[in-house]
Structure 1
């Protein structure tokens, strides 16, 4: 790799300044309700957590998000501003997420002996191009897919991710954490998890020192708490697949056939990701666009026949005009 020219530091600085100027122009010129100083705070949060979460990501291959953390902060800073909350969360969380994705690709390129400068421009051009592609696909989907983002959409385009994003803007932005999570509020007791999250790593550390041969040394508090952060929009079915695959490959095969695992484990993971993307294209082209019904068998029916999916586990439903929270907000 020493034969290739490295990427100059001023390239990153220049690109950051250009993007910073565009971000300031966007939040100040449009009615986003996000102040310029809040944007800077969001970027500082992203910068501060890039290395700590990056270390966890590099050692465990599990990426922890800052979505709830940023929502909580901006909910106190700018209460009653749901659009500002979504933008603050994007700049405070996605900036860090993109940095980790960039670092991950640079690391892979280093292993494959790919020059640094082509990787830099490849990432940059692909990211800019993806902005236009995503906007185009979104506009097309909203205008051409019947019943999109509804719970009974025939092809299951129910938009779980955007639903969570919208609900978070209402909970943390419109209503605000002050009214929901502060002392004496309906969910005020959840504040104790800040204390639990801060103290548990120290407890595990000292227990592992005291009992070096116990399995407590494998317990990771950030992974334990962060692993539940994808619920929602992920479902128990998603977690079951995740745990089953992880146990088979990272435990059973790794211990039994370590040579095969070292050679093919990550290639298999990449193959599964690629297979999912190709399968999605094939299903859309062969079934959805032709109006052909999807195969009906147990594996496809089981997830939609659960109490969670059918909402039959709810013991009490809110009727017309009824509420489940306080009648007045302080």
Structure 2
């Protein structure tokens, strides 16, 4: 839902505030960021509900956590900017700030050039709206015409296509991992170990998310802070070290080696 809102806000802003990146970012903040923060709050409240924690306890904890994380994030950002050379540039592939780079690129494409209009270089991308509208209707019609084919009822194009909105800035190599984990848990375990899936799948998902955060923190303190590089292997090719040498190419296929955000 949030990614749909941000795409819609980008296209609308390119039409009404073209040439004004500040207005674009302001429009994007109200159209997407506020909604995203509300959804994050609702998701966290859902976790508290599952853990049987009363809302009157959850809400002040959210306020306290927001204050603490704001201070920690600011201190961390200042520390990284002052201690990591070439941070947020192509010269430092480990710390390229892809999310910020994505926001900066969007502000240029939509806010400065207004590229998503019919006469622009990227106008062909607008056909994605038409394709995204037709595909769910097509799958629904096929399900109605062939009701005996059970797997047609499981096709959900909005969910399939929603994942593609994460490509910028998510590296391409992450998608096979997502597919593999999703297939194991939501197909194999759901079908052959449903009782385990029903009891532990959601908790295990949270545990993996927390494990990634803790592991990233440990890796930073133990390795990156001591200038110890990750072992090189075939899956680390490309400027983003995700095995795809073309992931940093532009619309024309040109790969820039000097990009700054």
TM-score normalised by the shorter chain: which range applies?
0.7 to 0.9
Give the match for residue 217 of structure 1: 153
What SS does structure 1 have at the residue aligned with 2:110? helix
Give TM-score scaled by structure 2 length: 0.84
Tell me if the contact between 1:70 and 1:88 (Cα under 8 Å) persists in the aligned partners: yes
Deviations 1:82-109 (A, max 9, x none): 1221232122112111111211222222
Which structure would you say has the larger RCO, counting Cα contacts within 8 Å and 6 or more residues apart? 2
Give TM-score scaled by structure 1 length: 0.68
Deviation at 1:301, TM superposition (A): 5.8
Tell me if the contact between 1:80 and 1:174 (Cα under 8 Å) persists in the aligned partners: yes
Give distance in 1, aligned partners of 2:133 and 2:254. 35
2:234 counterpart of 1:295: no
Give the match for residue 198 of structure 1: 133
What SS does structure 1 have at the residue aligned with 2:246? helix
**What is the 5 A alignment of 1:168-187?**
168-176=106-114, 180-187=115-122
Give the paired residue count.
Answer: 251
* Aligned-pair Cα RMSD in Å: 2.5
2:16 counterpart of 1:106: no
Deviations 1:209-244 (A, max 9, x none): 222232222122321221110111112211111111
Give distance in 2, aligned partners of 1:120 and 1:316. 48
Structure whose alpha-carbon radius of gyration is higher = 1
Give distance in 2, aligned partners of 1:226 and 1:157. 26
Give distance in 2, aligned partners of 1:134 and 1:85. 25
Partner residue of 1:126 out of 61, 65, 90: 65
Tell me if the contact between 1:304 and 1:310 (Cα under 8 Å) persists in the aligned partners: no
CA distance 1:304–1:224, shift in 2 (3 Å): closer
Give distance in 2, aligned partners of 1:95 and 1:272. 27
CA distance 1:288–1:117, shift in 2 (3 Å): same
Give distance in 2, aligned partners of 1:170 and 1:287. 35
CA distance 1:292–1:252, shift in 2 (3 Å): same
Give the match for residue 12 of structure 1: none
Q: Which runs of 5+ in 1 are unaligned?
A: 1-52, 54-62, 319-330
Partner residue of 1:247 out of 170, 183, 191: 183
Give distance in 1, aligned partners of 2:97 and 2:54. 39
Give the match for residue 201 of structure 2: 265
Give distance in 1, aligned partners of 2:153 and 2:122. 33
CA distance 1:123–1:65, shift in 2 (3 Å): farther
Give distance in 2, aligned partners of 1:304 and 1:200. 30
Give the match for residue 162 of structure 2: 226
